[in-house]
Amino acid sequence: FHVYEKALELYARHLLLLSYAVEHPAKRGIQEKVELYLETFGNLFVRDYTASIIQQKASEFIKYITDSGASRLSSLFDFSQLKFKERDILEGIFKFWRQKDANDVNKYFPAQKCYDLRLRSYFGTRYDTRSNAFDWDFAMKLSERKNASIINNRVYSKWRETGIGFEMREANYNVPNHTLASSMVFNDKLNGNKTIRRGYFGDIVVGPYIGLGIASESDELFKKTNDQYRYTSVDVAKSNVTRCFQEILRSCSFEPEADEMNKKIGELTIVEVDEEEEAKKEQAEAKVLEKEDYLELDDCQIVFMPMTCVADLAQKSKYEGLFDIAFFSTTSIVDLTNSLLDKIMN
């Protein structure tokens, strides 16, 4: 897969989210991986635990970016196409992710202030009546899309107000999600100079549910009682991501069959624990994790393209006829031309 984005922060998020998916099952259980993925993907604020995991990953990614042989992720992700300047910027992004201040979690990224400024700019004089606008947008626009009504008005309105889309546990979501921060260049009205500002410039209208939470192979999730859905898009998203992660494990021959698992559960017995043996076992597992922190996917590789990618695609012969299929986001559709497609498509 060749991936091109217009912002390096998105490359960093891709690396983080996909690293959750390919973590070794001995390192982290599938339920925990799903919760981490959805929180990081769709929440402006995350739990303390999730924030600590992001900080740990950031330190790991810095070593990986500066030395591609330092992680088993090197077999899955290819950064060789990026320029050295772009790698340096990525390293700076990861350093920002791992910033923490025990006394002021908003010191490096005042997420609530940034989000509120976006809402005030969007609604203008309607800001004080924004809750009515949330209801209107959901009822008259969003819910008319196929299956989108399962998102649930209450869930959608809460995300519009707070930026929190997935509450997986009864916990405090109070740490800013640094992975949603990005930088943009603005013209300074006072002196006319250009200045770079970090803030939240993501979605404040649609929500993080469309991609993961309105379609599923399970019809059970879309059943209704008294014309009301039993579940919400949060449940659908959790189910979909769980299935994806299960398929990755199954492709690597890690997940046992259901009947075998039930058989093992039926054979469980109470045994006396030898503390010395357990300690040796934990040390052995720790050594395994040092080597097997991530799964190896031999038939898959993700190549991150440089920021000059669009111009290079049309000019460099190595891209000619390279791709079987291409997906363009709405922000990149301006780069789509017939001559470009004719050159790169196989």
Mean pLDDT, 10 residues at a time, over the chain (346 residues)? 91 96 91 96 95 94 78 84 93 92 73 95 95 94 89 95 92 93 81 82 93 92 92 95 93 59 42 58 50 80 89 82 84 77 81
Residues near 211 by beta carbon (within 8 Å), at least 6 away in sequence = none
Q: How far apart are CA 25 and CA 284, in angstroms?
A: 15
Q: How far apart are CA 218 and CA 240, in angstroms?
A: 9
Model pTM score: 0.86
CA distances from 141 to 13, 136, 148, 155, 170 (A): 29, 8, 10, 16, 31
- The CA-based angle 109-112-115, given to 5 degrees, is 100
Q: How far apart are CA 50 and CA 105, in angstroms?
A: 14
Reduced to 3 states (helix: H, G, I; strand: E, B; else coil), residue 309 is helix
Query: 229: part of which helix (H) or strand (E)?
Result: strand 228-229
* The pLDDT value given to residue 321: 86
* The pLDDT value given to residue 70: 62
Query: 266: part of which helix (H) or strand (E)?
Result: helix 258-266
